Amino acid sequence: MIISEADATWAANKFIDYFKNFKTIEDYLRHAKNEAIGKRTVMLPGFSHKDEFLNEDIHPNEMEFEVKAVGDRFDDNISQKQFIEYLTATSSHVIEHNIPGRELRWMVFEKRTQKIMGFIRFGSPVINSKPRNIWFGKQPDLSRFNRHAVMGFAIVPSQPFGYNYLGGKLLALMCISHFAREEVSRVFEKDIALFETTSLYGSTTSASQYDGLKPFIRYRGLTESKFLPLLHSESFHELHNHFTHLNGGKPLTENRASSKKLKRQTKMIAWIRNSLKEHGKDEKLKEFNSIIDQAFNLTQKKRFYTSDYGYKNVREVILGEEDKLIPGQNWDKFHLDNIISWWKRKAGKRYEKLKQEDRFRDKVELWTEDDNIQIIR
């Protein structure tokens, strides 16, 4: 589609103004997060959401855990509004609210204090993945793959629980427990046998919360990440609303499309490029392409991880080479009690070391109440 010279120039300038000041992925993430937060929550005197999060000095051996599901379909549930509100305040990543496909959301609490320790969101896995295809040897049949696979999209510990107690590792381990496998299978009406997730940051850091978790979780390689970082909040909506108007009132993709925001942004960029070229706006097109290339260089190849829940033949079953899933030698290790015991040994050493070195943190970090939180840990 070719749009007018004025529309193409206006839209190009919106992209240029948004991306021109980002030199690193951290610059982009901090801007996007602050833009998504908007005005900070005004708290009543003496009240803070920080009171809801774990900040007690407790040895890991003394902790007990409770998982609460999110949504009206579950008993003793957490509301979707509360989940989004608290996760948005905690996570350094911008939270997308409406995700296509099935999903299951959890909040994890320390049982005795009833304080929040973290957030988990399971969902349908991405359609294609280079590390997955290398591991399988080919791209699997999607219907068979989707019958057995689930992805962890948000595995976020509260802070300072994450720092003090290896909290991200605990949440990751909960995701690959038999308890999680059975719950996800029940809710999704599938036979889950493969868990996938990616690190939030790839080439920026040399480590992830998913490292050091063998035999439970294994690193499979780096993803391909040659896509443009997303515009967020008002910056995106202003452009998309304008392009929807230019498109006769029709959205640029179906509302139920997967990765619809990325697809809509990609289509807008194509229309801008084609239109600037058509109208002979060579200098503006050159400036636009330069900024888009600069933004592409912000993207990260993410670290890709899988878990087989202790089965010995997940790959063979998904590829259709075998029909029945068979428990392997590590099967019992994936029971939730055994996983928590394994974590407690690791977390206990971490806790004692931090206490000995006077590095134990005692400040709850919330984006809605704090000005300067570390983005990349």
Together in a domain, 194 and 333: yes
If you average pLDDT over every residue of the chain, what do you get? 89
43 is a domain residue = no
Together in a domain, 156 and 220: yes
369 is a domain residue = no
262 is a domain residue = yes
Structural domain containing residue 249: 5-32+228-296
Q: What total number of domains does the chain contain?
A: 2
Alpha-helical segments (H) within 98-232? 130-136, 142-148, 161-165, 167-175, 178-188
The DSSP output letter for 15 is H
CB 273 within 8 A of CB 8: no
Contacts of 197 (CB under 8 A, 6+ apart): 151, 152, 153, 155, 172, 175, 210, 304, 305
Beta-strand ranges (E) seen in the chain are: 65-69, 103-110, 115-123, 149-157, 194-198, 218-222, 303-307
CB 225 within 8 A of CB 202: yes
CB 257 within 8 A of CB 168: no
**Tokens 């029945």, located at residue:** 324
Together in a domain, 344 and 325: yes
* Helices 260-278, 282-296: inter-axial angle, 10-degree rounding: 150
* Per-residue pLDDT in tens (0 to 9) along the chain, 377 residues: 899 999 999 999 999 999 998 988 888 888 877 777 764 454 555 557 888 999 999 999 999 999 999 998 888 789 999 999 899 888 877 666 656 568 999 999 999 999 999 999 999 888 888 999 999 999 899 999 999 999 998 999 999 999 999 999 999 999 999 999 999 999 999 999 999 999 876 655 567 899 999 999 999 998 876 677 888 878 899 999 999 999 999 988 887 766 788 889 999 999 999 999 999 999 999 999 999 999 988 877 788 999 999 999 999 999 999 999 999 999 999 999 999 999 999 999 999 999 999 999 999 988 777 766 665 55
CA-to-CA distance for 201 and 222, rounded, in angstroms?
11
Residue type, 64: E
41 is a domain residue = no
pLDDT value at residue 42: 47
Residue 168 CB-half CA count within 13 A: 23
Together in a domain, 341 and 317: yes
pLDDT value at residue 96: 65
Alpha-carbon distances of 97 from 40, 87, 103, 214, rounded to whole Å: 19, 11, 12, 32
Alpha-carbon distances of 357 from 162, 268, 352, 354, 376, rounded to whole Å: 18, 53, 9, 5, 23
173 is a domain residue = yes
Together in a domain, 93 and 213: yes
For the segment 88-122, what is each residue's pLDDT rounded down to a tens digit?
A: 888 877 666 656 568 999 999 999 999 999 999 99
Together in a domain, 74 and 110: yes
Together in a domain, 124 and 77: yes
The DSSP output letter for 278 is H
Select from 280, 296, 312 the last residue of a domain.
296
Together in a domain, 140 and 73: yes
pLDDT value at residue 40: 45
234 is a domain residue = yes
CA nearest neighbour of 223 among 200, 242, 241, 239: 200
pLDDT value at residue 99: 60
Together in a domain, 316 and 264: no
366 is a domain residue = no
Together in a domain, 184 and 61: yes
Together in a domain, 60 and 193: yes
Contacts of 248 (CB under 8 A, 6+ apart): none
Select from 254, 275, 296 the last residue of a domain.
296
CA-to-CA distance for 212 and 346, rounded, in angstroms?
10
313 is a domain residue = yes
Read off the CATH number of the domain in which 97 is found.
3.40.630.30
Q: What is the pTM of this model?
A: 0.85
Select from 261, 279, 296 the last residue of a domain.
296
Alpha-helical segments (H) within 150-191? 161-165, 167-175, 178-188
Question: How many residues does the structure list for the chain?
Answer: 377
Together in a domain, 17 and 119: no
